[in-house]
């Protein structure tokens, strides 16, 4: 009877969750998932040249392969029969996948669809009750680069390479051969003629070897290029599987062999960390370094079915919206597989974290050299999922040696590689060694992705010269982590656990600018690690506990994920200093606590509970004068993904996407530091321009903005400048429709044409914003060098000024206009492209305010900067904020006696073939002040627009004054604990769960919260069905 009751309960839970998934599925707007703007009329490109190991189906029509995801696991044949029984249209065919996962239930299928019937067929598939969604079978590419070859990513010489957008992996390759006369090695690479070190010795691995811990009984999945069966460097290759269309299990590139050697090699010249580890080599890349999402999904399912312990994935890219891939990672970690992944080789640039290493449930690894300095190639944080309406998380989690690391080669010798894809297996090897420390019978009770990350980050050694977004917790410290795990008891914790404004550079950027009354909230986004269980809940709202009376001067509101899944959640602090502290100078200390609980573990009766603590030590100064306060507009910035937002400099042909976040603390971090050095206080606005009080700021700084503007914003800014005396500084970018059209390319992954959503900046929108002042930009694309007062600068793909009032000061220079070039990806200077004086800088006093406009932002952006123009920015801010006029900028020779003016029909026009609402936070959206604006306008339209009336609330949020006397207010995501009651369908918007896909819901809490519940339901549903089928199979099997 008890068994029957449990069966009924399980069945009821499965049915309920499946119903929820079906309910959400119909609410998803899939148009925001795609970058497709114009589908090709015909596509005769072979689309099955790199596919699964099946016959190529060719009916004379162009075909593309698509992944159909189902809401439950079943045998592939059952899914096939279901589709064939429901779909009446022709033009599609089921693709049989012959790989090791075929013997297990699956949650997806691959179909080939004729382009002529694509739209109608996808619509029919998506209407089916048991179909979750349909997406293109994306291909992944990565490059294992030889020394001197240069790093190659998704784009080369302005052209899209085959495969998914990706970042380069390992490079700096050199081969080493052991000699007969000594243990020394000979390098055939002149760049690396120096002593070689065993990377294991830097972590003290021998200390654990001598205790008998060498990775025994640990199942290590290596997703890479394969490995040969009889390689002498490995004693324990348990299984090799091939997931590609090539008929081989061997590694013909050498990267998979190298990674395996770092983890588990036994050869004395290049020892691995855990030589007894059981190696499971998943060959997911072809010799051409290409893979497909479907290959990964099958391989991930197989890793789950065969109970892998650890998985290393040395690939990555900027597309965190590849949902089939991302959600499968969640499911993988939810099944207690510890994933280690490279953070990316796009350093030293900030905002360049790669997915999946940027996911909180994955151990993201950065690289350092043997001097404990962050490697130049290692990608830097913060995470950009939350931008522009929130603040990113700390990543990488840890760093490890990743420069000139020795590992195994195909030829059974040793070689060196550098890159974060080398640092990743270093940490994976450490993890395997640590797993083997725990008795096999206790491993699944103690070890999981959260507890392992806790051991790594809490045991890490902090580097003295790097900040948290470069090093995470610091360099992995094997022996310290070992001590933590020896006595580990399941608990929850917060990472980072301390925010100390007095500790620089680690706490950058927070330590660079103190708090003060009247400022925009400072947001700190921490990660909750729940080692108690894959699923957890926040038991009660977070609480601020000041250590003394001065702590009551701090007001904190919290946004957090009420449901913690898988293993992780987020806790964001929105911090403001109260107005009564306008003259206070000193430090505020205290703790933030949050209670987490998880259901009882197997064999337990009691709920698991834990209290997490985040220590705060904040520096506070008196409110700076208005002239020293600058407000940065983050709200109107759009980045890749989800749209094709092109780069700002057309001279850069190997990185055509604008994906670094365009944030003060990502690719504008050097500018931020410069402004702080110059005495300016820079705040960030992630809400519309109606959401700040212009009386508090000297200058509003608009740089490289792509979004549109609400009419209320345009009206308010006019009043702010003319009547309130706000300074306005604008740094624009190129915009030319003909150039955008020429920049389009056909992407073999999405089977569609990609066309830029806008130019480097949205000039038509900026012109609307500046129209009340009589200012407008043109559509030229200007390039050239110029000098003002001895300061030399490069104008890189900037635009020109075509309207400016009389009496203003305008600087013009003879630049090349490349906008008429037929080859915008490769600009050619010819005699036909004459240089003419083009206005690029304008300065104007208007009413009580001052305005400066400049047509290029590349000189402020560290991504592709040739020369900086910080000197110009300082002079502009001196003018707009302090009315200090530089004699050269305000020379009478550049004063305009007559206005610059061109007719409306000569102004740049918006594209009519782009549905901009899919990418915009303005078009088709409601004006509302979000959680990064001042507390008094949260959920309203802003200042002078029903400030306290809360006439328009942000959907899915509530503001609660807890009345605890601790100055804390709570905003949670709209995720609730599971209840056995049905909601009205209008009460629960799918947007709240799929915040990644909705521009109007892209507030930080909703965005990050979308990690947790829906994937949880997906994984739970899949796991129930999957385990039930396995159980049935076991019962049916003969004895």
Pairing of strands 536-546, 586-598: antiparallel
255 an active-site residue?
yes
Q: Annotated catalytic, 421?
A: yes
b/e map 198-212, b = 16+ CB within 10 Å: bbbebbebeebbeee
The kind and range of the H/E element at 435 are helix 420-437
Q: In terms of DSSP H, where are the helices of 26-171?
A: 76-86, 118-127
Cβ-based burial of 621 (10 A; exposed 0-12, middle 13-18, buried ≥19): middle
The token pair that represents 15 in the structure block: 């049915």
Distance CA 388, CA 1004 (A): 8
Angle value at C-alpha 1032, between 1031 and 1037, nearest 5 degrees: 100
With 0-12 / 13-18 / 19 or more C-beta atoms within 10 angstroms meaning exposed / middle / buried, residue 837 is: exposed
Q: Give the separation between CA 312 and CA 264, rounded to whole angstroms.
A: 12
Exposure string over 850-887, b if 16+ CB within 10 A, otherwise e? bbbbbbbbbbbbbbbbeebbbbbbbbbbbbbbbeeebe
3-state secondary structure of 464: coil
Cα gap 214→197, rounded to integer Å? 20
Task: Tell whether omega for the bond before 642 is within 30 degrees of 0, i.e. cis.
Answer: yes
Contact 684, 932 (CB under 8 A): yes
Computed on alpha carbons and rounded to an integer, the radius of gyration of the chain in Å comes to 29
DSSP 681: E
The residue with tokens 């096939």 is 80
Q: Compute the distance between CA of residue 557 and CA of residue 961 in angstroms, rounded to an integer.
A: 9
**Catalytic residue (choose from 231, 233, 255, 663):** 255
**Nearest of 962, 936, 951 to residue 558 by alpha carbon:** 962
Instruction: Report DSSP state, residue 327.
Output: H
Looking at residue 1024, the DSSP 8-state letter turns out to be: H
Assess contact for 457 and 495: CB atoms under 8 A: yes
Sequence-ordered list of residues with C-beta below 8 angstroms from that of 587, at least 6 positions apart, any chain: 501, 502, 550, 617, 618, 619, 620
C-beta neighbour count of 714 within 10 angstroms:
16
Contact present, 278 and 311 (Cβ < 8 Å): no
Rounded Cα distance between 370 and 368, Å, is: 7
541: its two tokens: 């709202």
b/e sequence 891-910, b meaning 16+ C-beta within 10 Å: eeebebeeebeeeeeebbee
Cβ neighbours of residue 639 closer than 8 Å, sequence gap 6 or more: 384, 387, 388, 645, 658, 659, 660, 661, 662
Question: Where would I find the H helices in 58-162?
Answer: 76-86, 118-127
* Dist. CA 730–CA 843, nearest whole Å: 10
| Element holding 452 (H helix, E strand) | helix 449-459
Q: Which two tokens mark 395? A: 């990543």
Cα–Cα distances in angstroms (integers) from residue 619 to residues 284, 589, 627, in the given order: 50, 9, 21
Residue 735 backbone dihedrals phi, psi, to 5 degrees:
-155, 115
- Write down the catalytic residue from 294, 418, 421, 1010: 421
Question: Which one of 224, 309, 768, 817 is the catalytic residue?
Answer: 224
What are the residue numbers of the active site? 224, 255, 421
């Amino acid at each position: 009877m008890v068994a029957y009751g449990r069966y009924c309960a399980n069945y009821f839970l499965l049915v309920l969750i499946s119903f929820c998934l079906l309910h959400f599925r119909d609410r998803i707007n899939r148009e925001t998932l795609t970058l497709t703007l114009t589908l090709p009329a015909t596509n005769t490109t072979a689309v099955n040249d790199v596919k699964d190991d099946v016959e190529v189906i060719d009916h004379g029509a162009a075909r593309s392969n698509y992944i159909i995801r189902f809401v439950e696991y079943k045998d592939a044949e059952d899914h096939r029969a279901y589709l064939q029984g429901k779909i009446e249209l022709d033009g599609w065919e089921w693709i049989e996948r012959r790989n090791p996962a075929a013997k297990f239930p699956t949650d997806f299928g691959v179909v080939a669809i004729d382009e002529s019937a694509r739209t109608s067929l996808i619509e029919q598939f998506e209407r089916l009750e048991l179909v979750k969604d349909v997406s293109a079978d994306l291909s992944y590419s990565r490059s294992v680069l030889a020394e001197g070859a240069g790093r190659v990513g998704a784009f080369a010489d302005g052209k899209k390479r085959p495969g998914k957008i990706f970042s380069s992996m390992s490079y700096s390759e050199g081969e080493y051969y052991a000699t007969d006369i000594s243990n020394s090695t000979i390098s055939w690479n002149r760049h690396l003629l120096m002593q070689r070190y065993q990377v294991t010795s830097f972590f003290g691995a021998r200390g654990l070897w001598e205790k008998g811990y060498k990775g025994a009984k640990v199942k290590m999945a290596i997703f890479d290029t394969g490995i040969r069966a009889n390689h002498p460097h490995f004693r324990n290759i348990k299984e090799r599987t091939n997931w590609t269309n090539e008929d081989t299990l061997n590694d013909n590139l050498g990267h998979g062999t190298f990674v395996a050697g770092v983890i588990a090699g036994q050869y004395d010249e290049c020892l691995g960390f855990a030589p007894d580890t059981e190696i499971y080599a998943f060959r997911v890349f072809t010799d051409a370094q290409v893979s497909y999402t479907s290959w990964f999904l099958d391989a991930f399912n197989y890793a789950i079915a065969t109970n892998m312990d650890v998985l290393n994935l040395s690939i990555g890219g900027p597309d965190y919206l590849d949902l089939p891939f991302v959600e499968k990672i969640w499911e993988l970690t939810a099944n207690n597989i510890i994933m280690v992944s490279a953070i990316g080789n796009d350093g030293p640039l900030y905002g360049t974290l790669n997915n999946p290493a940027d996911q909180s449930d994955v151990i993201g690894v950065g690289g350092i050299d043997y001097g404990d300095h962050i490697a130049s190639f290692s990608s830097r944080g913060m995470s950009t999922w939350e931008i522009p309406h929130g603040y990113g998380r700390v990543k990488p989690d840890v760093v490890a040696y990743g420069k000139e690391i020795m590992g195994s080669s195909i030829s059974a010798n040793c070689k060196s590689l550098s890159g974060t894809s080398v640092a990743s297996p270093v940490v994976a090897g450490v993890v395997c060694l640590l797993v083997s420390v725990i008795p096999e019978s206790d491993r699944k009770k103690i070890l999981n992705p959260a507890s392992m990350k806790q051991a790594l980050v809490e045991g890490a050694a902090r580097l003295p010269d790097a900040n948290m977004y470069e090093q995470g917790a610091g360099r992995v410290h094997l022996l310290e982590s070992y001590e933590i795990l020896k006595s580990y008891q399941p608990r929850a914790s917060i990472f980072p656990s301390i925010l100390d404004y007095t500790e620089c550079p680690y706490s950058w950027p927070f330590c660079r600018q103190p708090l003060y009354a009247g400022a925009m909230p400072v947001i700190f986004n921490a990660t909750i690690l729940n080692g108690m269980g894959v699923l957890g809940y926040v038991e009660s709202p977070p609480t601020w506990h000041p250590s003394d009376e001065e702590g009551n001067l701090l007001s904190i509101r919290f946004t957090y994920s009420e449901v913690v899944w898988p293993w992780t959640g987020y806790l964001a602090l929105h911090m403001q200093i109260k107005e009564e502290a306008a003259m206070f100078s000193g430090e505020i200390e205290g703790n933030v606590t949050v209670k987490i609980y998880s259901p009882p573990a197997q064999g337990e009766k009691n709920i698991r509970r834990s209290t997490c603590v985040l220590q705060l030590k904040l520096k506070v100064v008196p409110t700076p004068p208005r002239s020293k306060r600058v407000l940065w507009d983050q709200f109107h910035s759009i980045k890749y993904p989800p749209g094709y937002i092109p780069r700002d400099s057309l001279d850069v042909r190997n990185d055509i996407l604008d994906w670094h976040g365009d944030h003060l603390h990502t690719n504008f971090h050097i500018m931020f530091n410069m402004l702080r050095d110059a005495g300016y206080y820079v705040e960030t606005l992630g809400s519309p321009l109606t959401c700040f009080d212009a009386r508090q700021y000297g200058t509003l700084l608009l740089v490289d903005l792509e979004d549109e503007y609400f009419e209320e914003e345009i009206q308010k800014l006019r009043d702010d400048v003319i009547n309130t005396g706000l300074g306005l500084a604008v740094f624009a970018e190129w915009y030319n429709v003909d150039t955008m059209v020429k920049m389009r390319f056909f992407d073999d992954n999405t089977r569609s044409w990609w066309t830029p959503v806008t130019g480097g900046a949205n000039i038509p929108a900026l012109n609307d914003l500046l129209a009340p002042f009589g200012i407008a930009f043109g559509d030229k694309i200007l390039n050239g060098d110029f000098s003002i007062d001895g300061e030399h600068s490069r104008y890189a793909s900037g635009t020109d000024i075509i309207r400016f009032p009389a009496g203003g000061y305008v600087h013009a220079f003879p630049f090349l206009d490349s906008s008429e070039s037929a080859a915008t990806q490769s600009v050619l200077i010819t005699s036909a492209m004459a240089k003419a004086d083009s206005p690029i800088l304008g300065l104007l006093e208007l009413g009580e305010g001052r305005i400066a406009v400049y047509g290029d932002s590349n000189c402020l952006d560290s991504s592709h900067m040739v020369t900086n123009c910080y000197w110009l920015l300082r002079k502009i801010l001196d003018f707009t904020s302090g009315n200090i006029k530089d004699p050269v900028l305000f020379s009478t020779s550049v004063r305009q006696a007559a206005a610059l003016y061109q007719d409306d029909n000569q102004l740049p026009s918006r594209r009519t073939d782009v549905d901009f609402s899919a990418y915009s936070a303005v078009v088709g959206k409601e004006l509302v002040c979000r959680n990064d604006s001042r507390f008094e306008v949260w959920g309203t339209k802003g200042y002078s627009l029903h400030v306290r009336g809360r006439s328009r609330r942000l959907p899915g949020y509530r503001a609660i004054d807890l009345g605890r006397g601790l100055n804390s207010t709570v905003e949670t995501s709209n995720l609730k604990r599971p209840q056995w009651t049905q909601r009205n369908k209008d009460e629960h918007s799918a947007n709240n769960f799929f915040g990644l896909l909705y521009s109007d819901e892209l507030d930080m809490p909703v965005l990050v919260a979308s990690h947790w519940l829906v994937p949880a339901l997906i994984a739970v549903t899949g796991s129930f069905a999957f385990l039930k089928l396995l159980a049935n199979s076991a019962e049916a099997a003969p004895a």
